[in-house]
Structure 1
Amino acid sequence: MKPMNFQQAVARQFNKAARHYHQHADIQRLTADSLLKLGPNSAEILLDVGCGPASTTAHLLPRTECYMGVDIAPAMLATAANNYPNQVWLNGEWEALPVSAHSVDWLFANLSVQWVHHLEKAMGEAYRVLKPGGVATINTVVEGTFSSFIKSWNAVDDRQHTQTFHSPEKVEREVRLFNWESADFKLEKHIQYFASSRELMGSIKGVGANYVRRTTTSGLMTKGRLQQLEDAFESYRTTEGLPLEWSVLNIRLVK
């Protein structure tokens, strides 16, 4: 059997998460609220990249004459279409957006661009599809995300157990490769708390964020290794619970 490429693997992960996505997507709703504040009050054509199961559609529809949702995962789009049957839903990925050049007034993308293989190519696509004067509001997770969880795994083994997060500076450099009229960046941080490490990992899995691109196997999740992780993670517990950190870079671009 031919092995899946990166985007196929990401799509499979989000297909699995589609059914239960909403019940785990607290952080996604919070970051979407911040991103919505950066967008225009109205836009003729709006492209929601990484729309998921229509997570933010209800908030975007009043601000556009034509809404289009794009997602890499067919199961996410099926849920979206069931919730909003009269909207346009397109299967596609960041690095090859399925819309014409110079056709979009507002590109909205909440926590989707971190799943691309080449950020520069994705930003080139954003630049291509926007009309002159068009606005892109994009966010992405960066270094500092899942920091306690990553350090706890490091106490168990030296394998990779989470996605690799770029620095804010690296993201900004790649975004600025294009001739934007303006480009603004703002880092915000959030912490979720969980009663147990298993609940925390279930939340990560529930939004499809547990895909890890590896060059070597991570090893089986045996009871012994899980117990080692839980023991290491306990040193980070606060009165509110075990922390799951999110460092999110908000980006507002005008073409």
Structure 2
Amino acid sequence: MTDLSVAALPGGLPDKRQVAASFSRAAASYDSVAELQRDVGTQLMNRLPVDFRPARWLDLGCGTGYFTRALAERFGEGLALDIAEGMLRHARPLGGATHFIAGDAERLPLQDSTCDLIFSSLAVQWCADFEAVLGEAFRVLKPGGIFAFASLCAGTLYELRDSWRQVDGLVHVNRFREFARYEQLCAASGLRSVCLENRLHVLHYPDVRSLTHELKALGAHNLNPGRPGGLTGRARILGLVEAYEQFRQPQGLPATYQVVYAVLEKPL
């Protein structure tokens, strides 16, 4: 069994090229295990104002294009952007956008004041400089435009993290920004907060291998400095399984995700 989680913390993020390569490799398997991603993206779409009709929108961190196509059904075709070329190759033939763009959320290859909506579901947690992401959203949005994003914050996968801590002292599991940091950065961005909240999502698995298999299929590999190299030894895996069993519930082994939902508006 390989070790399969990746850190996301300012100053501790893996190299962007490694992130892009990891998600590119996962493009073919991603949708088959993306239950949480579909749920979160749907909830984010439901948080958009009912009467909101953007003339031009951007799906930021589009991945396989699942929500690119959902946005197109609702608003007509827009733009889709991702840092992972493999994801874009998967998404392009399925449509939904007039252009699928390889690019970085911290340096959007778009002109000022050109979008009415920037939609981003479970992508910006991989950005080390979230202040830059907010600045780019402010720059690219038209006055009255909306930046709607869902991200992950501290406390995500705490069961897996705490179980590994009982096994060794190495870096195994995702680290994300505190929700309070999201609040601070959004408040200082110049964008008006229509909605900013932290919601719990809990998935259940029959065993630890089912969870780690899903993380691998999603492309969420461990790219942390200080991570263990190569395969994880049998004794350590048995230790992980034993430790995680302490969290077992009637539904199975829980995996908790702390999800940030935000709808921010650029003032007129």
> Considering the TM-score relative to the shorter chain, is it more than 0.5?
yes
The aligned amino acid for 2:68 is T
Where 1:151 maps in the other structure, the secondary structure is helix
- The gaps in structure 2 that reach 5 residues or longer are 1-13
- CA shift for structure 1 position 211: 3.7
Contact 1:45 1:106 in 2 (8 A): yes
The 5-angstrom pairing of residues 44-193 of structure 1 reads: 44-84=55-95, 87-193=98-204
1:170-209 Cα distance to aligned partner (Å, 9 max, x none): 1111122221233431111111111110110111121122
Runs (4+) of structure 1 exceeding 4 A deviation are none
Change in 2 beyond 3 A, CA 1:218/1:68: same
Partner of 2:249: 238
The sequence identity of aligned pairs, in percent, is 30
Contact 1:95 1:118 in 2 (8 A): yes
Partner of 2:15: 6
Matched, 1:35 2:44: yes
With the length of structure 1 as denominator, give the TM-score of the two structures: 0.93
- The gaps in structure 1 that reach 5 residues or longer are none
Q: Which of 15, 22, 31 is equivalent to 1:22?
A: 31
The aligned amino acid for 1:92 is G
The aligned amino acid for 2:22 is Q
Change in 2 beyond 3 A, CA 1:45/1:153: same
Where 1:19 maps in the other structure, the secondary structure is helix
Matched, 1:218 2:225: no
1:211-239 Cα distance to aligned partner (Å, 9 max, x none): 4432x232541111111111111111111
- Looking at structure 2, the residues matched to 173 and 183 of structure 1 have their Cα atoms a distance apart, in angstroms, of 15
- CA shift for structure 1 position 62: 2.8
- Looking at structure 2, the residues matched to 253 and 181 of structure 1 have their Cα atoms a distance apart, in angstroms, of 5
The aligned amino acid for 1:75 is G
- CA shift for structure 1 position 162: 1.6
Q: Which has the higher contact order (CA 8 A, sep 6+)?
A: 2
The worse-fitting range, judged by mean Cα deviation, of 222-231 and 174-183 is 174-183
Partner of 2:215: 204
Change in 2 beyond 3 A, CA 1:32/1:77: same
- Looking at structure 2, the residues matched to 241 and 18 of structure 1 have their Cα atoms a distance apart, in angstroms, of 27
Would you say how many aligned residue pairs link Structure 1 and Structure 2? 250
- Looking at structure 1, the residues matched to 217 and 61 of structure 2 have their Cα atoms a distance apart, in angstroms, of 16
Give the aligned CA root-mean-square deviation in angstroms.
1.5
With the length of structure 2 as denominator, give the TM-score of the two structures: 0.89
- Looking at structure 1, the residues matched to 203 and 89 of structure 2 have their Cα atoms a distance apart, in angstroms, of 29
The aligned amino acid for 1:54 is G
- CA shift for structure 1 position 65: 4.0
Where 1:90 maps in the other structure, the secondary structure is strand
1:113-158 Cα distance to aligned partner (Å, 9 max, x none): 0000111111111111111110111011111210111100010111
- CA shift for structure 1 position 81: 0.5
The aligned amino acid for 1:62 is E
Where 1:117 maps in the other structure, the secondary structure is coil
Where 1:44 maps in the other structure, the secondary structure is coil
Where 1:10 maps in the other structure, the secondary structure is helix
